Every structure is written in structure tokens, then in C-alpha cells.
Amino acid sequence: MTIETPKSVRELSLFEDARKRLDKALKYVSMSEDALRRLKYPKASLSVSIPVRMDNGSLKIFQGYRVRYDDTRGPGKGGVRYHPNVSIDEVQSLAFWMTFKCALLNLPFGGAKGGITLNPKELSRQELERLSRGYIDAIADFIGPNVDILAPDVYTNATIMGWMMDQYSIIKRQVSPAVVTGKPLMMGGSQGRNSATAMGAFYAINTILHKFEQIPRQTTVAIQGFGNVGAILAELLAQVGYKVVAVSDSQGGLYAQQGLDIPSIRQYKHENRGMKAVYCKDTVCDIVEHKIISNKELLALDVDILIPAALENQITAANAPDIKAKYIFEVANGPITSAADEILEGQGIRVFPDILINAGGVTVSYFEWVQNRSGLYWTEAEVNQRLEQKMVEETEQTWCIAQNTGTSMRTAAYIHALNRLGEALDAKGTRDYYVNNQW
């Protein structure tokens, strides 16, 4: 039996891609038909209108969403993104992926996701605060520390998470830090959360490349996406000797064959809201030789490692033949389509999936949730030590499954997650249990 696509999402390419990848994994999983049927549909979907009084006195209505795809293994968990392309279909697909990501990392969570359709750069900070609090007003009965826990995602940050937690606490008339993760430290946030996704990816990348005897100083890296995650990951890789030769943001990218000075580029971008290849000493930055490239050109560079860390659907059947990297580590959610997967595999390019590589964020979100509920807080060293242990353990298990089944790392990751989800779903009772009536 395969997971059929619900009629309501027939047009959704993200969901279709996820389904195709599951079909491959199902060949290696013993799973009841009951469990498969329950994974066909989200448990609950919510669409809300959010009225916001703008700074000029006008009223504007924004569309918001929250989807809780599955909560068999625990309360829903997933970020909230602010982006012009947010839709119920996208949010449902991302919640679907979160379900498998949490199962893969063996976290006691189900999958959820949320978002608001807007360009956040067009709103003032006061308008963003009113919007964020309005979103919580609209979905407060749909979320909770034991129901569905929010986190930052594309164009949301610790400040926005703090507003959301505070608004939920006002509504419930009790301080409720565990309803949101990724908060400011002074509001119950966790040490290490800001860098968690990048740190998790760093641990997974090192674990995997060690198996190929890839020496850092002889390894070139290109990173698409120089936001919080991509920038921190670039710096972590550069610190241990990897040669980061290209980075890009939404405006374009930089390439320098000799390698880029990542800390200086981060400093320059923070101070000037743009990117140039520079070397900075204190407050003085000198421009160094570099080439301006597009995001499309970055993806096609002849490098050892390519890291898509921006948005979904960046590598498709159209540009997959141009990819020259030996290894691709998905730090963004869904950056490679299933059609592109087939082409890359045919070219001998090894792809390491998002539900494993970018799982550091949700893992440390889990740590934050645990700390909020216990009232006992850990140091950044403790958080990173626990994160490394978790990422290395699940990376090794996924690698072993891939070797034993002769499948790709993506299929192995879904096999690993499906086994855990199947056991949890079957524990609630299956057709065989009721038909056979055996205790």
C-alpha cells in the first residue's frame, strides 16, 4: 500500500515530492495499513485572518495558517514563517516533513508548521509586533505546551517568538514559556538555540565526510543562503579548515577561488546590509579580489560540497544536470525536487537529506521545551554536547540503514522515521488486533 495524495493537495508539488520519497522507503518497512491511512492527512488545519492597524492608521488584513500534521509521538512542533509565498499547501507540506524529522531524531513530538503571507520587510517593527500578537490571538486555542509548540522559521526570530509567548501568556493568564521555543534568553530561551540548526548540520557533515576520508583543508564548499543558519555554518566550517569559496543571499553571491573570509563578510553585511568579499580588522574592511555571481551560478560551481540553505525547490530537473558538487547537504527544507534527486543520483552525486541535516534546530527546541518545563537550565556547552550526541547517533544509524538496504541516505532517513512512526501508530490498535481479538 502507498500513501495516496489527498484530493485537497493534488496541486502541491512539495507534498507530491514527499509522497514519492515515502513510496521508496515503504518497500523496506513493515507497516500496517491503518498506520499508512493515518499518515495520509493532517490531523488539523487552521486558516485565520489577522487584522492589523498600520502605523498610518489604515487597517490591513493578513492571512495566517497553522497545521498540526501528526501528534502520535507527542505534541505538534514546528516553526512559523513570514514570507510572501506562504500558503496552506506549503505549510501542510512543511508540517508533514516535520513529522518525519521529529521521528528520525527520536524526539517526543509530532509535526506542525505555521506561517503568515506577507513580506516582513515592508512592515515596521511596531506593525510586526501587532501582527505577531494578532496571530497568537487567532490561534491560541489551537496551540499549547502540550498541544502544539511554535518556533522561529524563515524571517522570524527570537524577538518575534518572545512577543508570541508573551501574548499567549496574557490570554491564558499564566506565564507559559513552553508554548514557544527560540525565545530570548531572558524569557526562557535556551543557550545555543540561535546556532542550533547550523551546529547540528556541522556535526552531521563532519560525521559523514569522515567516512569518505574527506580532509577539510582540501575540501571546497559553496553555501546558498547567508542568513542566520548559512552564515553560522559557513563560519563553523571555515574554522576547522574547510575552504568556503562561495556564499550567497537573496541579492546574489560572492566567489573567490582562494576562499572567503567568512567572519569579515558577516561583519560587513551586518554593518552595511549587503555582501562583499572583504577582510576586516576591527572597524576597517578592505575589499579583496572576488567575483560577483548569481544564485544559479553558485549552485553550478565545481566544488566538493554544495549546501542549499535558502528556500525549497532550488535544484530541479531543469538545473540538476549542471550540478558538479560531489556532496550536497540540504540545510534548507526541500531544496531538491524528487525529479532532481533522480538526476543527481545518476550523476553519482551524494545527497544528504534535510530531515536529518537541518534537525539541529528542532532538537535544541526540544531541549528548550524540557528546560522550560523543568525550570532547570543548561549551559551552552551542555546544550551543544547533547546536540552533538543526538546528531551523531542518528546520522550513524541512518548511515547503517543506507548501507544495509543499499538505498540513498534520503530513503534511509525515511525508513528510520517510518519505523518509529509505525510503532507508535500501531500501539494505538490496528485492524489485526481487533479482528484477531488477542491480548
Helix (H) or strand (E) holding 80: strand 76-83
Mutual orientation of helices 360-374 and 380-405 as an angle, nearest 10°?
130
Strand order in the sheet with 59-70: 44-53, 59-70, 110-117, 76-83, 148-152
What are the two backbone dihedrals, phi and then psi, of residue 314, each rounded to the nearest 5 degrees?
-90, -30
CA atoms within 13 A on the CB side of 111: 25
Secondary structure (3-state) at 380: helix
Please give the DSSP secondary-structure letter assigned to residue 212.
Answer: T
The catalytic residue among 113, 183, 243, 390 is 113
Q: Count CB neighbours of 22 within 10 A.
A: 21
Q: Are 290 and 277 in contact (CB under 8 A)?
A: yes
Can you tell me the distance from the alpha carbon of 334 to that of 81, in angstroms, rounded to the nearest whole number? 15
Closest CA to 420 of 72, 68, 44, 40: 72
Please give the DSSP secondary-structure letter assigned to residue 317.
Answer: T
Can you tell me the distance from the alpha carbon of 372 to that of 376, in angstroms, rounded to the nearest whole number? 7
Q: Are 363 and 391 in contact (CB under 8 A)?
A: yes
Q: Are 327 and 357 in contact (CB under 8 A)?
A: no
Point out which residues pair with 252 in neighbouring strands.
249
E-state strands within 141-197: 148-152
State how far the alpha carbon of 345 is from the alpha carbons of 300, 306, 349, in Å: 16, 15, 6
Q: Are 226 and 202 in contact (CB under 8 A)?
A: no
Contacts of 372 (CB under 8 A, 6+ apart): 145, 177, 178, 188
Instruction: Find cell 532547570 and name the residue.
Output: 376
Closest CA to 116 of 142, 151, 88, 96: 88
Q: Count CB neighbours of 409 within 10 A.
A: 20
Whether 390 is catalytic: no
- Residues annotated catalytic, as ranges: 113
